[in-house]
Amino acid sequence: MISELINMNGYGAYVWSSFIFTLLSFSFLYAVVKLDLIREKEKFKENYKSLDEKKLASVAKQKTYREILANTSTSKV
């Protein structure tokens, strides 16, 4: 039963290799996008560190700012 599933009438090598290739490709793409998101969040935080208190309070009230930094535990606004 299991060997039939693995062999797939002689096409198993092609099918399983394509599944593995797809899984590895998507995993690599996920890692690249996640690292890019982390870098962009850091750039975003750096841009708003130099603001004075009045501007910083204004930015903290903005919905977009809260959404971008919602998952970061180090944001202090």
Which pLDDT tens digit goes with each residue over 49-71? 777 777 777 777 777 776 766 66
The residue with greater pLDDT, 23 or 47, is: 23
Q: Which tens digits make up the pLDDT trace of 10-45? A: 899 999 999 999 999 999 999 999 999 999 988 888
Q: What are phi and psi of 69, to 5 degrees?
A: -100, 15
- 56 Cβ contact partners less than 8 Å away, ≥ 6 residues apart: 48, 77
In this prediction, residue 77 carries a pLDDT of 45
Q: List the domain boundaries for the chain.
A: 2-68
